[in-house]
Structure 1
Amino acid sequence: MRIRLANPRLALWFFVVLSVLLLGAGLGWRQPLNVDEERFLGVALEMLQNGAWFIPHRAGEIYADKPPLFMWTVALFVQLTHLPKVALYLPALIAGAVTTGCLYDLGRRLWRRRVGVISALLFLCTYQSYSILQTGQIDGFLALWTVLGIYGLCRHLLLGPDWRWYYLACAAMGFGIISKGVGFLPALMLIPYAYAARKGWSGVVAMPSGSTKKWWLGLLVALAAIAVWLLPLLVIVAQGSTDSVAYAQEILFRQTASRYANAWDHREPFWYFFVQVIPKYWIPILFMLPWLVPAWRKQLLRHDGRVLVLLGWVVLVLVFFSISTGKRKLYIFPAVPALVLVSAPLIPWMLRRWFSNRPKGRTVFVSLTVLWLCAWCVRGFVEPRLEGINPHESMMREVAMATQNADLVLVDWREGHWVFAQQPLVHFGFKDTQPLEHSVMWLRIHPKAFALVPAQDMSRCYDPQKARSVGDTSRAEWFLVGADADNGQCQAALPDKAYRFAWQTPL
């Protein structure tokens, strides 16, 4: 496909704008619908409300699952736009634009301009790009730091030496780590690079002797980026707060190494990504593999270091996440930009092989690409209209009216109940083991309050005849009960800590 933009900088901005138009389709209509989006938007809004920037909270309780950089960014965009439901999606949109621009520029520099064009278009055509970058999840934001790490390392290892780009890559990895623990992944690129450089493969840069200190300086740059969050956190911990110490232990140890080695959620077999994710989310690259794999083999036999570094990194990322017991489809998205970059140079060759008449092949390629991109753009506008508003939003408005904004006790709640709450909330911890019994005891002490409980096991403590159904969300039917619905069958001591929370400005 020919984009007639002779000026590389003009072409770069063309693809950046194209990515914003495609990935931003439907922005403003999208609603936070899944639990991740609800959670991260809520944490960001609570940061703005309580000013606790270094230790995030969820409905007043410390939230220790993820570092805070993504939530900081969402909070920043909330402040700039005053539109929380738009601000949530802007980090991933920016990440998509930067990734597209970086792929165009790397393809142009590593091979030629046409490869840069194909790299940008192939990334925008890949299903997982839309699956991740049109959502309000951390992995879309992580893509920003991942691609900057890849870009900086490629400029240094394959086009350098250029220590400035190396240090930028290290800083990006540091910020990636305080977005999500796996932000260090671009560093794995050094493994295939070290082999290629040692064996004298073409396409890689041999570093000058005596550069050991420069390499280690990159680690200090990464640590400096991490210190933007970690240093203030350690200062807070040093002040001796029990909650802050528990948070530091959870986020620095249990949610990193422990979760990787022995995940308690999303447990899947080793082959999960290869059987259930790649066949769907790496389309259309998947369809090219019968031709790409033999071509990559020939390039490796010719000792092309560019292919070894990029393709080797893709393999290492897949192995890294496959070894972990916990797996989700979005985990392997960081590998997509490098896979696109190593695939793009072979597409002109595949077109010539598929179509003996070259103009015809180009016409088919252009037509399919345009049709595919248009389809994704239309989907961006249509899908939010079909999904409608979050059912939690409607439910919580109805609950607030029915209870006249009285205190509401949450039982087995989900993030949507908290994010869209219109009234003061009470809960006993997101992972409370006896939430139903605790809600009964609270209502006995506070008879003017109400409780929102799921249908499952409700009759154990409440009279179903005195409960009011308020809707189905989060795979459960929810009922509103007052103190008069207590059937007297449940007895339990109240937990040591009850969390009270109310939005100053409800969504």
Structure 2
Amino acid sequence: MSTAAPARGTASWWKGHAAFLLMVGMWLAWTAGLRPLTAPDEGRYAGVARAMLQSGDWLVPRLDGLPFFHKPPLFYWLAAAAMQVFGVHEWAARVPSVLGAWLAAASLYTFLRRHADLRLARWATLALCTSPFFFVGAQFANLDMLVAGCITATVACAADALRCLEEDRPWRSALALAFAAAALGLLAKGLIGLVLPGGVIVLWALLARRARVALRMAVWWPGWLLLIAIAGPWFVAMQLRYAEFFDYFVITQHFRRFADSGFNNEHPLWFYGPVLLGLCLPWTLWLLLWWRKPGPAPTRGTSGLPLLMLVWMGVVVVFFSLPRSKLVGYVLPALPPLAALVALGMARVLGASPRRGRVLGATGIAAALMCVGAVGLAAHLGTPPDSRLRLPAGQSVQPGDRVVMLDRYYYELPFYWQLHGPVVVAADWRPAVAQASDNWRKELADAGDFEPAAKSAWLQSIDAQPARICGPGRTWVIGPSNAQLVAPWVLGMQLVTFDAEIAVWRHDGRAGEAVDCLAGHATPGALPAWQGAS
């Protein structure tokens, strides 16, 4: 009898936590497939994952058939696996971000439940998952939320291990999980998966006078062995295959991007302050009440939590504020500690107030409605014209057809048109032009440098296209609706469809056709799109 009761209690205990976390996962995932891919990020990362699935090469990420080493492969592995199971659509492309968000929420919940109390853990998780910033980030197909989940798990497990070691309780399992999560962070987005959580734990340990305990954790060799075993093989394989990999991935994509100012999205130093406060409403309003007279504190162990959460949030915000180039999603790893601070503020203000449930419910409902509204706003503002472009009924790109993208790479079209392989991107590929701006042209040119033969096959000049289009086989050309200004030969092709920004032409070549078949005439209906529209 004495042993059966704890077993039943343990089962019920696990069921309660599992049910809560299952509801969290369902909430984060339920609207993930309701909007088109956003350009350029979602189209880029979903396209690389789809190409990985299509080609069967799960080792080298490829953008238009060229090695794409801006980031490591974990997102692509997860997205490609989801597409293989669920099919190629938006929801599957966003599965890695949903998983990253759930990992962040589950890690925060578990840490606070262990080192504070259940009420605080649930409040913080509710605030995190119903913050519009976090909710939309969980349904955005890029690497930011995935690495945020890995960073959150690393910090939570490492902090748990440090406290357990200090209190002479079992700590090795938690620390092993921290090293494993850091390894996944390395595979998700590179060095920040290790550097950021390491900086958080080191600074927190120094401020809390726990440096000796942190040092003991840092030199725990089984953890480093586990990290190398998980993350090392892919990096070693890429370096062995491409001699330039280390210089490009580590030096250029990490240190030069961090230090240089020649990249997009430059913002002032204070950029992330308004981002965090504004995009996490209404929960951040509780931070304004932080200094009110505190109510009853949570039942146990919260004395060191505010310092950990402030250090955690501060390290992330300061780190990403230093470079001039700033994207909103970079600061997602700061949201879990922000949510914990919100929950601590609510506990101080509400205490045991009889209105606590009503206030929490009203705030949660308002936040949930804002999350849904934010998804709709993201769909309205972020839908590129190429994701809306569809071929007329009865027409589709068949295997063996040649596809040319004219003076631009349309990231979403291979995904939505289910293209069967890389496309030719016809543009000006002179180095001075290709390296002039941090855009699609530079991405493809850099990727092509790893495989020159593939580069010459897929990155070609505009002037070379007419001779390649004429002859046996069908060619599709996708370009701006005024493409005749840079490629007058499109007027010799059949205009298939167009809108205000994009047009599609087709040419059904024949054997024996002259190489100048597009010169000097235009097929019916092949007026420039803006003239046809009028």
TM over 0.5: yes
Counterparts of 1:216-295 in structure 2 under 5 Å?
A: 216-235=221-240, 237=241, 244-263=242-261, 264-275=263-274, 277-292=275-290
1:441 has 2:464 as partner: yes
Q: Is the 8 A contact 1:279 1:286 kept in 2?
A: yes
The structure 1 residue matched to 2:206, chosen from 195, 200, 217, is 195
Cα deviation per residue 1:2-52 (whole Å; 9 max; x = unaligned)? Answer: xxx995433322321221222122344443333222222221121123233
Distance 1:135 1:146 in 2: 18
Higher mean alpha-carbon deviation, 395-404 vs 304-313, is at 395-404
2:49 aligned partner: 44
Query: Deviation of residue 169 (structure 1)?
Result: 0.8
Partner AA of 1:183 in structure 2: G
Q: What is the 5 A alignment of 1:6-85?
A: 8-85=13-90
- 1:399, distance to aligned residue in structure 2 (A): 11
2:132–2:367 contact (8 Å) kept in structure 1 = no
Cα distance in structure 2, aligned partners of 1:345 and 1:305: 12
Distance 2:293 2:189 in 1: 35
Aligned pairs, number: 458
1:478 maps to which of 488, 503, 508: 503
Contact 1:466 1:481 in 2 (8 A): no
1:384: Cα distance to partner?
9.5
Structure 2 CA distance for partners of 1:135 and 1:229, relative to 1, 3 Å: same
CA, structure 1 residues 314+306, in 2 after alignment: closer, same or farther (shift >3 Å)? Answer: same
**Are the structure 2 counterparts of residues 223 and 326 from structure 1 closer, same or farther at C-alpha, using a change threshold of 3 Å?**
farther
User: Are residues 107 and 444 of structure 1, via their aligned partners in 2, closer, same or farther at CA, if it must alter by over 3 Å?
Assistant: same
CA shift in 2, pair 1:469/1:328, >3 Å: farther
Contact 2:282/2:363 (<8 A) preserved: no
Query: Which 5+ residue runs of structure 2 have no aligned equivalent?
Result: 1-9, 434-440, 442-458, 508-515, 522-534
The residue type paired with residue 427 of structure 1 is: V
Moved more, 417-426 or 258-267: 417-426
Q: Matched residue of 2:15: which SS?
A: helix
Identical columns (%): 20
Question: Which secondary structure state, in structure 1, belongs to the residue aligned with residue 505 of structure 2?
Answer: strand
CA distance in 1, matches of 2:88, 2:487: 41
Aligned to 1:418: 414
For residues 403 and 10 of structure 1, the distance between their equivalents in structure 2, rounded to whole angstroms, comes to 50
Give 1:395's match in structure 2, choosing from 389, 397, 400: 389
**CA separation in 1, counterparts of 2:427 and 2:247?**
18
Deviations 1:35-89 (A, max 9, x none): 2222222211211232332321112122121111110111122222234433212
Contact 2:132 2:374 in 1 (8 A): no
Q: What is the aligned partner in structure 2 of residue 362 from structure 1?
A: 357
Shift of 1:409: 1.6
Q: Distance in 2 between matches of 1:98 and 1:119?
A: 14
Quick one: distance in 1 between partners of 2:428 and 2:226? 38
Query: Closer, same or farther in 2 for the Cα pair 1:399/1:429, shift >3 Å?
Result: farther
The more displaced of 180-189 and 416-425 is 416-425
Sort the Cα spacing of 1:450 and 1:113 in 2 relative to 1 into closer, same or farther, 3 A: closer
1:183 maps onto 2:210 in alignment: no
Query: CA 1:88–1:445 in 2, change beyond 3 Å: closer, same or farther?
Result: closer
In structure 2, the partner of 1:491 is none
In the TM superposition, what is the alpha-carbon distance from 1:456 to its structure 2 partner?
5.6
Partner SS for 2:488: coil
Measured at CA, do residues 486 and 399 of structure 1 come closer, stay the same or move farther in structure 2, by a change above 3 Å? farther
**TM-score w.r.t. length of structure 1:** 0.78
Give the Cα separation in 2 of the matches to 1:274 and 1:136: 24
Structure 2 equivalent of residue 501 of structure 1: none
Question: 1:334 matched to which residue of 2?
Answer: 333
Give the Cα–Cα distance (whole angstroms) in 2 for the partners of residues 172 and 309 of structure 1.
19
1:295: Cα distance to partner? 8.2
Moved more, 329-338 or 100-109: 100-109
Normalised to the residue count of structure 2, the TM-score between the two structures is 0.74
Tell me the equivalent position of 2:477. 451
Between the aligned partners of 1:341 and 1:129, the Cα distance in structure 2 is 14
1:432 is aligned to 2:429: yes
C-alpha distance in 2, partners of 1:30/1:63? Answer: 26
Q: Tell me, in whole angstroms, the C-alpha distance in 2 between the residues paired with 1:271 and 1:456.
A: 40
**AA at the equivalent of 1:420:** Y
Note the residue ranges of structure 1 that are not aligned, 5 or more in a row. 199-203, 238-243, 489-507
**Which whole-Å deviations, capped at 9, do the CAs of 1:398-432 have from their partners, x for residues lacking one?**
49938888422212122123333447664258883
Q: In the TM superposition, what is the alpha-carbon distance from 1:376 to its structure 2 partner?
A: 3.7
Q: Kindly state the Cα deviation for residue 446 of structure 1 after the two structures are TM-superposed.
A: 3.2
Deviations 1:103-142 (A, max 9, x none): 2222222222211121111112212111200222212222
Task: Please state whether the residue corresponding to 1:397 is helix, strand or coil.
Answer: coil
**Deviation (angstroms), 1:215:** 3.5
Distance 2:426 2:293 in 1: 55
Query: Structure 1, residues 289-326: CA drift from partner, whole Å, max 9, x if none?
Result: 32236889xx9xxx943322221121111110000121
Summarize the Cα distance change of 1:291–1:124 in structure 2 as closer, same or farther, 3 Å threshold. Answer: same
Deviates more, 1:365-374 or 1:127-136: 365-374
Question: What SS does structure 1 have at the residue aligned with 2:497?
Answer: strand
Q: How far did 1:471 drift?
A: 3.2
One-letter amino acid matched to 1:314? M
Q: Give the conservation status (yes or no) of the 8 Å contact 1:125–1:284.
A: no
| Residue in structure 2 matched with residue 201 of structure 1 by the alignment | none
Q: Indicate the residue corresponding to 1:325 in structure 2.
A: 324
CA distance in 1 between partners of 2:212 and 2:361 (Å): 39
Q: Which amino acid aligns with 2:469?
A: H
RMSD value, Cα:
3.8
Equivalent position of 2:447 in the other structure: none
Structure 1: distance between partners of 2:238 and 2:218 = 29
SS in structure 1 opposite 2:464?
Answer: helix
**Partners of 1:461 and 1:213 in 2: CA distance:** 60
Deviation, 1:213, is 7.5
Counterpart residue identity of residue 313, structure 2: V
Asked whether the equivalents of residues 406 and 424 of structure 1 are also in contact (C-alpha less than 8 Å), the reply is no
Distance 1:271 1:466, change over 3 A: farther
